[in-house]
Chain A
């Protein structure tokens, strides 16, 4: 396959970036998208140019490192698929691919296609956990959890924290990411004692860095784990209940 690539190149966080054009004429349809970039990078290196920097690690769609906008869509055209699991057979010979980093004020570009997603860790720090110290747990089967609840919690917990939801959202909102963790821990009995404090804290942290949600639902469409926006509704319910129970100051 022959492909024409337009790739965002940016040397430093404070430097101006621009698109650079590359032609590839030996792309195999069996390659993964990142392997295609590997091949380009080998060529660039041998030609004395610096390779394109991009985040990647497990290449199995689970670590959440990879983060590319491909022709304007986070993780490219295939539903429920992270960039690293996207294969070149998805594209046609002669295609032009525009490859950009996540675009969001909350995710500043560090170099080329790499962004800083530290704001996500900040949301988890604001309450995305159960406060249970090592050693203080009770017997695992003491609290039964119905299979439907466990399955629903797992649906939410599948989030890989890649940031596609934010990147695709016209508002740069992080509702889907936040709601996934809020929901997982609200559904499970272990998370209930802190549920009010958790949702208030996490939503506050989220709103400090990210935009507001206005139900575009593009997050769900690009989520590599197909996490449902139903969890956002659940989070809003959690938030409302917690906020109404709070003293006026909150």
Chain B
């Protein structure tokens, strides 16, 4: 199978509007004859469910949380980008497009990114109309802040809770459609497999997480909006429930998995403090607007930060990247932090931390301004660490945060399985090898509000009158029995190690060999050890309780079992990509100054992996990336 990106012809600036005109429409009376399944209720899924229902489609929406309002989009703090140019600082659709392509180290599709930048403005309009309380200037206009990888202020925000407010906007639109009967909501319901028949996605098999009941759901199209997979690292900034099961099961049913090695390590998280640690907490990138990052010049300096004189501090980002300073993109900031810690100059538990200091900002702007901008973040930091950032520098360290990789989709956001769409973080589409801050919210809402609702109609219109496959069809029965078999298997192992114990070990392997920097030997080792760990999991895991009841151990076990497979693909992809790009840093491929060295000749492409059966090596396919509007260059933030 060849990968057809289906990027429309024509000049970049006209592709999306021309394509919208060329897409087949479904007339309003016919929309109500179609059923669409949406898995996930975050920014992408919630927005898509509400918008499709408004258009007249019948939607079934699933989430594992007890309410769609709790999807992990809610935890995004800093903001959402849009090229409104309200600050009159030279922003434009093209500049947002350019910054995003460059930020992604020239490993994304030009046409997708341009469309994203194009719809960014409509997203802000929509959210304001929904009653999202964005920050305002005294004159009543919307306020902006700066984010990494950009030299303009284009980030819209609602205190440090932008994700929450955008998600609640989408959630409220969704609840409105639930009340109208256009969306049927299935909370506490987890998708455990995809049903494919006649080479088309026909529905899903789910588990009711309260009763344990396994059920089939049919539809004319299936949309996965299930988020990212960095919980493969065990410790990450993702919510505990975030998992890769939906996309992994789809991969096993024929959807290609693109660029699994592109995982983002966020530079500003609270450092690890003990073995029992269950997750890492992010401190918004917006803090880098005013905070200065430093470590002592001498290794092993044990003084408190305020006791270290100015002359003995190394503001390493400002030193290495004077043009962007503390606002370099995330991958660069993370690697620089790792570097100074590797030199023994780190400052927190185990020497794995750097300072993020507001002393200068407080002197320059006053405590009140800082409190106004970051008050809730400072409080959160103090609650977790017991340290008061108004008095002493914060300690931060990078942590897994976001996956740019995901299921491969074409320009219409359809996977390699016809009728299976993938939106938001679950797909691979827009961020290349590194995502810029405040762009995840933009992409999730772009896909959900303004892209999928157009493109899905084109597919549906081609299947008018066919109707969904009945759930008593053998295709559903077959998948249901596989799902049941898997659950029984997990419950019957009766081993001696807990699921978390295995997950922690998997996470450590991934972090050590496929984390912030990677190299051939380590990846090869991971590819030996992960299958060994997986085998030991199926031999020695202990899952208590039964299948037909609320059973959190069982939920976790199924997700970790899938992470055990996904981790291997991630490492394999990292091994095969013999270059450094964005967040994928291979030690063998770096410039003399230690920056990522791309190999454009051999790797200006998307790697999309095809499942070929258990025990077989997956097949690597390639989608060449063509740059017609920007010239890939060595990224420079100096």
Which residues of A come within 8 Å of B, CB atoms?
Answer: 11-12, 28, 30-32, 34-35, 38-39, 42, 45-46, 48-51, 53, 55-65, 78, 80-81, 85, 87, 89, 110-111, 114, 116-118, 120-121, 124-126, 128-141, 143-147, 150-151, 153-154, 157-158, 160-161, 184-185, 188, 190-191
Contact = CB atoms under 8 A, between A and B. Distances in A.
A65 B65 contact: yes
Given A42-B500, A58-B75, A185-B131, A51 B67 contact: no
Interface stretch (B3-11, B136-144, B398-406, B459-467): B136-144
B552 interface: yes
A53 B544 CA distance: 12
Given A56-B240, A85-B380, A190 B274 contact: no
Contacts of A135: 122, 126, 449-450
B175 A60 contact: no
Contacts of A191: 131
B66 A117 contact: yes
Nearest to A48: B544
B383 A59 contact: no
A135 to B, nearest CB: 8
Given A51-B544, A154-B158, 11 more contacts: A38-B278, A45-B542, A46-B496, A57-B240, A64-B70, A110-B210, A129-B175, A140-B142, A146-B138, A147-B140, A154-B133
B487 interface: no
6 contacts: A12-B549, A63-B239, A124-B175, A129-B176, A160-B164, A161-B69
Contacts of B168: 157
Contact of B384 (A65, A87, A114, A161): A87
A117 B383 CA distance: 26
B54 A141 contact: no
B475 interface: no
For B72, B86, B453, which residue has the most chain A Cβ atoms within 10 angstroms?
B72
B158 A117 contact: no
Contacts of B178: 121, 125
B554 to A, nearest CB: 11
In the complex, the 3 A-B pairs of residues with the closest C-beta atoms, listed nearest first: A144-B140, A137-B129, A129-B172
Contact of B240 (A59, A116, A120): A59
A200 B212 CA distance: 38
A5 B185 CA distance: 37
A111 B65 contact: no
For A35, A42, A129, A154, which residue has the most chain B Cβ atoms within 10 angstroms?
A129
B278 A34 contact: yes
A168 to B, nearest CB: 19
B67 A118 contact: yes
Interface string B281-313: 110000000000000000000000000000000
B124 interface: yes
Contact of B239 (A38, A58, A158): A58
B544 A157 contact: no
B388 interface: no
Contacts of B277: 35
Contacts of B69: 64, 121, 161
A124 B549 contact: no
Contacts of B171: 124
B85 to A, nearest CB: 11
Given A30-B274, A45-B553, A129-B172, A134 B239 contact: no
B125 A140 contact: yes
Contacts of B90: none
Interface residues of B, number: 81
Interface in B473-516: 496, 498, 500-501
B84 interface: yes
A160 B376 CA distance: 14
Nearest to B137: A147
Interface of B: 47, 50-51, 54, 65-70, 72, 74-75, 84, 86, 121-122, 124-131, 133-142, 158-159, 161, 164-165, 168, 171-173, 175-176, 178-179, 185, 187, 210, 239-241, 273-274, 276-279, 281-282, 379-380, 383-384, 386, 449-450, 453, 496, 498, 500-501, 542, 544-545, 549-550, 552-553
Contacts of A140: 84, 121, 124-125, 127-128, 142
A11 B549 contact: yes
B528 to A, nearest CB: 28
B604 to A, nearest CB: 35
A125 B168 CA distance: 13
Nearest to A125: B179
B278 A60 contact: no
B67 A125 contact: no
Nearest to B164: A62
Nearest to B125: A137
Contacts of A145: 136, 140
Contacts of A87: 383-384, 386
Given A49-B544, A51-B544, A145-B136, A125 B126 contact: no
A188 B133 contact: yes
B441 to A, nearest CB: 14
A59 B207 CA distance: 24
A158 B165 CA distance: 8
For A118, A140, A158, which residue has the most chain B Cβ atoms within 10 angstroms?
A140
Contacts of A138: 125, 129
Contacts of A147: 136-138, 140
B506 to A, nearest CB: 16
Contacts of B449: 134-135
Contact of B172 (A56, A130, A153): A130
B161 A158 contact: yes
Contact of A141 (B86, B135, B386): B86
A16 to B, nearest CB: 16
A115 B271 CA distance: 32
For B134, B136, B138, which residue has the most chain A Cβ atoms within 10 angstroms?
B136
B380 A141 contact: no
Contacts of A134: 47, 50-51, 54, 126, 173, 449-450, 453
Contacts of A153: 131, 133
A58 B75 CA distance: 7
A133 B133 contact: no
A117 B68 CA distance: 12
Given A31-B276, A51-B552, A150 B136 contact: yes
A224 to B, nearest CB: 10
A139 B125 contact: yes
Contact of A63 (B65, B125, B545): B65
A64 B50 CA distance: 22
Contacts of B47: 134
A20 B175 CA distance: 38
Given A134-B453, A140-B142, A154-B133, A57 B241 contact: yes
Contacts of B86: 141
A36 to B, nearest CB: 8
Contacts of A150: 133-136
B453 A35 contact: no
For A12, A49, A61, which residue has the most chain B Cβ atoms within 10 angstroms?
A61
A150 B140 CA distance: 9
Contacts of B450: 134-135
A61 B86 CA distance: 32
A96 B571 CA distance: 46
B405 to A, nearest CB: 22
For B75, B122, B276, which residue has the most chain A Cβ atoms within 10 angstroms?
B276
